[in-house]
Chains A and B, each alone.
Chain A
Amino acid sequence: MSEDEENREMVEIFVMGKRYKVPKGLTIMTALEYAGYKFVRGCGCRGGFCGACATIYRTEDEYKFKMDLACQTAVQDGMFLVQLPFVPAVREDFDIEEVDPKDNDNVMLDYYSEIARCVSCNTCTKACPQDIEVMDYVQAALRGDIERCAELSFDCIQCGLCSIRCPADIKHYHLAQLARRITGRYIHEHSDELEKRVQEIKNGEYDDKMKEMVEMEMEELKKLYEERDIREEG
Chain B
Amino acid sequence: MSDGYPDYMRESIKKVEETRKERMGKNYDRMTPSEGEEVLNNFHPDYKKEGKEELKIGPSKGRKVPTELAKLLRARSLIDPSEIDLTQVDYDVDVLIIGGGGAGTVAALWSVYEGIEPENILISTKLRHGDSNSMMAQGGMQAADKDDDSPIRHYLDAIGGGHFTNVPELVKALTIDGPKILKWHEELGIMYDREEDGNFVELPGGGTSRYRLHSSGDYTGMELMRVLRDEAENLDIPVLEFTPAVELLKDDKGQVAGALLMNLETNEYYVVRAKSTVMATGGFGRLHVQAFPTTNHYGATGDGLIMGYRAGVPIRDLDSVQYHPTGAAFPDQIVGLLVTEKVRSLGAQPVNMDGELFVNPLEPRDIEAAAIIRECKGREKGVTTPTGMQGVWLDSPLIEMKSGEGTIEKTLPAMVRQYERFGIDITEEPILVYPTLHYQNGGLVINDDGSTPVKGLFAGGEVEGGVHGKNRLMGNSLLDYNVFGRRAGLTAAKHAKKASIGELTLDHVDDYNQQIEDAGIKTDRKSPLLLPEYRGKKVLERHLDVEVTL
Contacts and interface: CB of A to CB of B under 8 A. Distances in A.
Interface in A16-62: 25-27, 30, 33-41, 43-50, 52
Contacts of A182: 189
Contact of B418 (A2, A72, A185, A225): A72
B4 to A, nearest CB: 14
Interface of B: 1-2, 27, 30, 33, 127-128, 130-131, 135-136, 144-148, 150-153, 155-157, 159-160, 164, 168-169, 172, 176, 179-180, 182-183, 186-192, 194, 196-200, 204, 209-211, 216-217, 219, 221-223, 226-227, 230-231, 233-234, 236, 242, 264-265, 295, 297-298, 332-334, 337-338, 413-414, 417-418, 421, 531, 533-536, 538-540, 543
Given A36-B535, A96-B234, A193-B199, A185 B186 contact: yes
A201 B188 contact: no
A232 B28 CA distance: 12
A191 interface: yes
Interface stretch (A115-123, A137-145, A149-157, A163-171): A149-157
Interface string A75-118: 00000000000000001011110000000000000000000000
Contact of B189 (A36, A48, A185, A198): A185
Contacts of A40: 242, 264-265, 531
A94 B334 CA distance: 38
B186 A191 contact: yes
Nearest to A23: B536
Contact of B131 (A50, A154, A230): A50
Contacts of B189: 96, 180-186
A206 interface: yes
Contacts of A95: 234
15 contacts: A25-B333, A36-B535, A38-B533, A48-B414, A91-B233, A155-B417, A177-B227, A180-B191, A184-B190, A189-B197, A193-B199, A201-B180, A210-B155, A228-B153, A228-B157
A135 to B, nearest CB: 19
B538 A45 contact: no
Nearest to A4: B538
A6 interface: no
Contacts of B172: 210, 213-214
A177 B230 contact: yes
A72 B264 CA distance: 25
Contacts of A218: 164
Contact of A33 (B187, B194, B204, B536): B536
Contacts of B169: 214
A108 B199 CA distance: 27
Given A49-B219, A181-B188, A184-B190, A213 B333 contact: no
Contacts of A48: 414, 417-418
Given A191-B145, A224-B156, A35 B135 contact: no
The 8 tightest CB contacts between A and B, nearest first, are A189-B198, A181-B189, A185-B189, A36-B539, A225-B160, A184-B189, A184-B191, A34-B536
Contacts of A215: 168
Nearest to B265: A40
Contacts of A225: 156-157, 159-160, 164
Contacts of B190: 181, 184
B339 to A, nearest CB: 11
Given A52-B127, A74-B2, A74-B333, A35 B164 contact: no
B194 A209 contact: no
A94 B187 CA distance: 14
B152 A36 contact: no
A210 B204 CA distance: 22
Contacts of B151: 201, 206, 210
Contacts of A234: 211
A155 to B, nearest CB: 6
A81 B172 CA distance: 51
B298 A231 contact: no
B534 A33 contact: yes
Contacts of B230: 177, 181
A77 to B, nearest CB: 13
A227 to B, nearest CB: 10
B198 A177 contact: no
Contacts of B298: 39, 43-46
Contacts of A38: 531, 533-535
Contacts of A230: 30, 209
Contacts of A33: 534-536
A43 B128 CA distance: 10
Given A33-B536, A38-B531, A213-B156, A188 B191 contact: yes
Contact of B148 (A39, A47, A94, A231): A231
Given A150-B191, A191-B198, A213 B128 contact: no
